Chains A and B, each alone.
Chain A
Amino acid sequence: DIVMTQSPDSLAVSLGERATINCKSSQSLLYSSNNKNYLAWYQQKPGQPPKLLIYWASTRESGVPDRFSGSGSGTDFTLTISSLQAEDVAVYYCQQYFFTPLTFGPGTKVDI
């Protein structure tokens, strides 16, 4: 199984400041046939289901504010919130969707 790790476990960022979350996979998520990384980022607010933010490591889902961006390739990925807003307080998960079993990182809690 592909193991996903995230760092840090939690972080507190001032409003308007940058938040950076790292995700590492135990195997490469880059598929050479299409040059795509099978890595997604989800946001989960308290009492709500996860919401898809980013897929293919860097493609923003429709309607997601452009302060959210994803980068990375292979085994190392990053989610960046360029200017943290109050509504961004949540737990963020990375997920690999390359192989079953699909696996998620343990989550990173972002607070103000």
Chain B
Amino acid sequence: EVQLVESGGGLVQPGGSLRLSCAASGFTFSSHWMHWVRQAPGKGLVWVSRIYGDGSSPTYADSVKGRFTISRDNARNTLYLQMNSLGAEDTALYYCTRGSTAAGNLGDYWGQGTLVTVSS
């Protein structure tokens, strides 16, 4: 059974940093592109970042470029999102999603999300 479990969220002050993790199981992690998608409270879905299965070609939304870094450890089956210079606009539930074998940009499995709150 495919499982994605996010962790690392919490309350952080503006300008602070946080690292999110997504532990994957039930599939060959290194064979799949992985994504982060966020959802502000009561709002819609916003794609944040993508990384290929071998860890190459990280890609970011303009709103996080230069502040966020996506990475993965295929030996540990874990996806990461390092978030720096956080602002109130980054407050959201952060989901990791698995890229489908049909199309790497298609998210076929989603975790339950980890909540990031940026506030003083």
Residues in chain A within 8 A of chain B (CB atoms): 38, 40, 42, 44, 48-52, 55-56, 61, 93, 95, 97-98, 100-107
Contact = CB atoms under 8 A, between A and B. Distances in A.
Nearest to A56: B102
Given A38-B105, A49-B113, A101 B44 contact: no
A48 B112 CA distance: 7
B73 interface: no
A97 B35 CA distance: 12
Nearest to A55: B106
B105 A102 contact: yes
B105 A97 contact: yes
How many residues of B sit at the interface, in one of the four size bands?
20 to 34
A42 B44 CA distance: 12
Contact of B106 (A40, A100, A101): A40
B11 interface: no
Nearest to A52: B108
Given A93-B44, A102-B35, A106-B44, A50 B110 contact: yes
B68 interface: no
B88 interface: no
